[in-house]
Chains A and B, each alone.
Chain A
């Protein structure tokens, strides 16, 4: 039902070439087809099926002393790809971006647009991918069967298909379709007040086994029958993969090269950056990789597409091929994120933020085995409301959520109150004494922005719980 974005990209590039022949041009069309369903108190609450399409025009305009960049994003209804009215809207967007570029002045991140490595792909003119409520057939059946009187069910399932067309005046033509979905489930036992959470991501939401997820959460509900109160303090703590992912995502987001070089980041040190610094004894590697070896579900298209410049990315890099980046390698800080211009300025490799994060280097132990080998410690479920307290050390605060359990002599002996913590992910990597086997996980805190993660459980001997949180 929608005109292919390819026609819109070509039309935009042609109009821009006429209006600003000297300028570099990036045309980006994104269509998002999404289906969602949400439930609470074991009843469906909201739902929806939506289609959204946008065109972004980025104009890179030669100026005295350099090149300026301006960006205009407009809605892209079907009518935009045909007819004089569409031409007028596109022309206005181009003119607006040119004007913004002129007024912005020479950009520090200016660089020639990446050259095309090959021609338009075979699916360039294909229509956008789409989803619908029909993907929730299995979920509806399994979820409906799971509702029962002695517990309440809360959760959210979404499936989103994003189709991107990227064209540049340097000849780049790329189209890619990224389907992705997740189910998040929260069960509460009204008798004990205990609350458990679990989530799973998948390329196709219909692949998610909701019955199995419910089963795993129900295994935990009985742990809440024995309630224990513990004070704030430092505890040996096992962080499960979801909790580790939320901390590692924040770490990766903070790894901008320029801020580190300029002395205004936790990755700065007197006279330089912390690249090369050994964090801890464990040989952990935190990497992003479009090919996602070992985790094919986490793969993504190795092409940079952005409508904003910042410390880590640049609109001038649109169309660049991206690759594997090891942010932390064998326990050492290895790479910081640099757009191409900043990479040249500091004489370091170009490294774009990665769309997945995989932490490896641990042992074979599963979470259960790590619990079994614990004399006394805490087992967490997930973390929540993580915010930066001190950027100089990357000190973060946040809370435990939906289940903190006391482990004694290798057994879960009861559920403990929640805590607020104050910890830096850098310090956690410095102090972690054990990492288990890496598995795909769903971040609880940052899932709206980042879903492709695989992490091991981590053992931290002295996790800093700074106050008791009475909420459950």
Chain B
């Protein structure tokens, strides 16, 4: 693999009056009595391309930028943001944040303290990617998506093709009253192709989507680096034809081999969100929800079998949550969440670390835009592959007499304590006597988090480990979205409840 080019932060972002904005905002905050203040200049560039049946439906560029000031005065947060990037507005926004802090201070009964963090002054980080999507002519991008669409439309049984790619470049400048100043640039892409076959006579239809996950990569991801598009697109029509002809699943407890392209989402919902400390102590109770994994069970909760070891990180190359420093100015780290099946940690930011008794934040603060306040958001939360044996997915399948191999994510839903979940997938391959013998359809699997992970018998080795992920993890009010990746190997789980979602379910 070619090692990624190290890019510089774009000159037009560096040309923004970062130091002047920081000086103006932090000075005004200090004068107003803030014990801590930070300024963030946050710019998001995105390009959305979407084709239907080979014709462009959306070709849209979007840029947003603004400055955000957060102050902590007498243990009470205040936040304000504005679109104007002038020192005068920065100072006025800091004063507004102080006002906001004071407005409802009477309702505050718990004062915030921040965990200490070393000062990181004048530092810069750029995510690893080869080709800046904004350096590629839009004609070439549309050309590639058109070529793939028309190729698939020509295949037997394919009636419709939807092809899209969202590309994002996120740039932040962060400066706080302790002296940390960070400048960062991240690039990510989310390509997607879905084919549909329609039964005009019978009135039904079926779809199949590519498995390529969104990734912290550049345009090279569309042309072969990190994903073999040609191979995947070539097999898509036949797989769809097989899916349409497949028999409906027989419901009941079923042994499952789950591919990383499906399992990442289960990890996201049932472990990633459940080990967010703010959720676990009720900060999301009225909206995103709480967690069954409460802090009183830290070190004792049996989350799953001994095979289950899960880490959080903001460092994995191409991870969607990977950064140099978080939006609290904390350096990116790796940490344990579940070790040998037992809950051992939480994701925190600087305000929650002291409440958990930690001396330092593990770096999980993120705000999705200038208009939104940073909060604890998800790190890349990943399941460890078998460290001793590089077991293949085929070897896991070989251990199943009668079961299903599930590939690709589709529908997902989990309750507000992250306990009862139900997932579907793109493809369900029937396993008989350790071999794949064709697809079945109408499959959903439903379980309780600890039962599910308790039934984890084995995981694949390092060679099966893949990063999955999403651009649109939602949390908080007002709503924020965050990009996040989850690495995992293939996995074998015994006797998971499978539902038949077909007609008459």
Whether A50 contacts B80 by the Cβ 8 Å rule is: yes
> Which of the residues B59, B81, B287 comes within 8 Å of A103, measured between beta carbons?
B59
Instruction: Tell which of B119-127, B165-173, B417-425, B483-491 binds the partner.
Output: B417-425
Residues of B within 8 A of A467 (CB): 420, 422, 446, 497
Whether A387 contacts B104 by the Cβ 8 Å rule is: no
Residues of A within 8 A of B64 (CB): 52, 54, 73, 75
- Chain B, residues 181-209, CB within 8 Å of chain A (1/0): the string is 00000000000000010111111111100
- Chain A interface residue count, CB cutoff 8 Å, equals 101
CA distance A69 to B372 in the complex (A): 31
Whether B413 contacts A43 by the Cβ 8 Å rule is: no
CA distance A270 to B292 in the complex (A): 46
> Which of the residues A155, A263, A395 comes within 8 Å of B203, measured between beta carbons?
A263
- Within 402-433 of B, Cβ neighbours of A (below 8 Å) are at 411-420, 422, 424
In the complex, whether B499 has a CB less than 8 A from a CB of chain A is yes
CA distance A103 to B146 in the complex (A): 11
In the complex, whether A322 has a CB less than 8 A from a CB of chain B is no
Whether A69 contacts B107 by the Cβ 8 Å rule is: no
Whether A143 contacts B82 by the Cβ 8 Å rule is: no
Residues of A within 8 A of B419 (CB): 469-471
- Within 34-78 of B, Cβ neighbours of A (below 8 Å) are at 48, 52, 55-66, 76-78
CA distance A464 to B371 in the complex (A): 41
Instruction: Tell which of A182-190, A287-295, A343-351 binds the partner.
Output: A182-190
Whether A422 contacts B501 by the Cβ 8 Å rule is: yes
Whether B80 contacts A107 by the Cβ 8 Å rule is: no
> Which of the residues B57, B287, B413, B502 comes within 8 Å of A386, measured between beta carbons?
B413
Q: Which secondary structure characterizes the binding site on chain B?
A: mixed
In the complex, whether A308 has a CB less than 8 A from a CB of chain B is yes
CA distance A160 to B5 in the complex (A): 43
In the complex, whether B106 has a CB less than 8 A from a CB of chain A is yes
Instruction: Tell which of A94-102, A241-249, A429-437 binds the partner.
Output: A94-102
In the complex, whether A220 has a CB less than 8 A from a CB of chain B is no
Instruction: Tell which of B95-103, B231-239, B314-322, B358-366 binds the partner.
Output: B95-103
Given the known inter-chain contacts A41-B281, A422-B499, please indicate yes or no for A76 contacting B371, CB distance below 8 A: no
Residues of A within 8 A of B79 (CB): 46-50
Whether B55 contacts A105 by the Cβ 8 Å rule is: yes
In the complex, whether B503 has a CB less than 8 A from a CB of chain A is yes
CA distance A69 to B56 in the complex (A): 9
Residues of B within 8 A of A50 (CB): 66, 79-82, 370-371
CA distance A125 to B282 in the complex (A): 46
Residues of B within 8 A of A105 (CB): 55-56, 142
Whether B413 contacts A398 by the Cβ 8 Å rule is: yes
Given the known inter-chain contacts A49-B80, A470-B448, please indicate yes or no for A309 contacting B58, CB distance below 8 A: yes
Whether A34 contacts B196 by the Cβ 8 Å rule is: no
Whether B286 contacts A197 by the Cβ 8 Å rule is: yes
In the complex, whether A12 has a CB less than 8 A from a CB of chain B is no
Whether A466 contacts B203 by the Cβ 8 Å rule is: no
In the complex, whether B477 has a CB less than 8 A from a CB of chain A is yes
Whether B282 contacts A420 by the Cβ 8 Å rule is: no
Whether A388 contacts B411 by the Cβ 8 Å rule is: yes
> Which of the residues A51, A70, A71, A388 comes within 8 Å of B81, measured between beta carbons?
A51
In the complex, whether A88 has a CB less than 8 A from a CB of chain B is no
- Chain A, residues 376-419, CB within 8 Å of chain B (1/0): the string is 00000000111111111101011101000000000000000010
Residues of A within 8 A of B103 (CB): 47, 133-134, 136, 140
CA distance A106 to B108 in the complex (A): 57
Residues of B within 8 A of A106 (CB): 55
In the complex, whether B3 has a CB less than 8 A from a CB of chain A is no
Whether B196 contacts A264 by the Cβ 8 Å rule is: yes
Residues of A within 8 A of B417 (CB): 470-472
> Which of the residues A47, A103, A264 comes within 8 Å of B198, measured between beta carbons?
A264
In the complex, whether B283 has a CB less than 8 A from a CB of chain A is yes
Whether A101 contacts B62 by the Cβ 8 Å rule is: no
Chain A residue nearest in CB terms to B112? A45
In the complex, whether B456 has a CB less than 8 A from a CB of chain A is no
Given the known inter-chain contacts A48-B373, A75-B66, A103-B59, please indicate yes or no for A469 contacting B81, CB distance below 8 A: no
Whether B501 contacts A389 by the Cβ 8 Å rule is: yes
Chain B residue nearest in CB terms to A188? B285
> Which of the residues B100, B107, B446 comes within 8 Å of A48, measured between beta carbons?
B100
In the complex, whether A79 has a CB less than 8 A from a CB of chain B is yes
- Chain A, residues 137-153, CB within 8 Å of chain B (1/0): the string is 00010011001000010
Whether B285 contacts A154 by the Cβ 8 Å rule is: yes
Residues of A within 8 A of B65 (CB): 75
CA distance A307 to B78 in the complex (A): 33
CA distance A96 to B502 in the complex (A): 46
CA distance A101 to B202 in the complex (A): 38
In the complex, whether B337 has a CB less than 8 A from a CB of chain A is no
Whether B501 contacts A395 by the Cβ 8 Å rule is: yes
In the complex, whether A296 has a CB less than 8 A from a CB of chain B is no
In the complex, whether B147 has a CB less than 8 A from a CB of chain A is no
Chain B residue nearest in CB terms to A78? B84
Chain A residue nearest in CB terms to B503? A393
In the complex, whether B156 has a CB less than 8 A from a CB of chain A is no
Whether A418 contacts B83 by the Cβ 8 Å rule is: no
> Which of the residues A52, A140, A392 comes within 8 Å of B371, measured between beta carbons?
A52
In the complex, whether B138 has a CB less than 8 A from a CB of chain A is yes
Chain B residue nearest in CB terms to A308? B58
Residues of A within 8 A of B203 (CB): 263, 268-271
In the complex, whether B479 has a CB less than 8 A from a CB of chain A is yes
In the complex, whether A448 has a CB less than 8 A from a CB of chain B is yes
CA distance A136 to B422 in the complex (A): 39
A244 to B: closest C-beta gap in Å: 19
In the complex, whether A72 has a CB less than 8 A from a CB of chain B is yes
CA distance A54 to B61 in the complex (A): 12
Whether B104 contacts A37 by the Cβ 8 Å rule is: yes
Given the known inter-chain contacts A44-B107, A308-B58, please indicate yes or no for A399 contacting B413, CB distance below 8 A: yes
In the complex, whether A278 has a CB less than 8 A from a CB of chain B is no
7 further A-B contacts with Cβ under 8 Å, apart from A52-B370, A73-B63, are A46-B476, A47-B78, A48-B371, A49-B96, A134-B103, A268-B205, A392-B206
Write 21 A-B pairs (CB below 8 A) sorted by A numbering. Answer: A36-B478, A39-B107, A40-B285, A46-B373, A47-B77, A47-B103, A48-B81, A52-B64, A52-B370, A52-B371, A77-B85, A105-B56, A134-B103, A263-B199, A268-B205, A270-B201, A310-B57, A391-B207, A395-B501, A397-B413, A470-B417
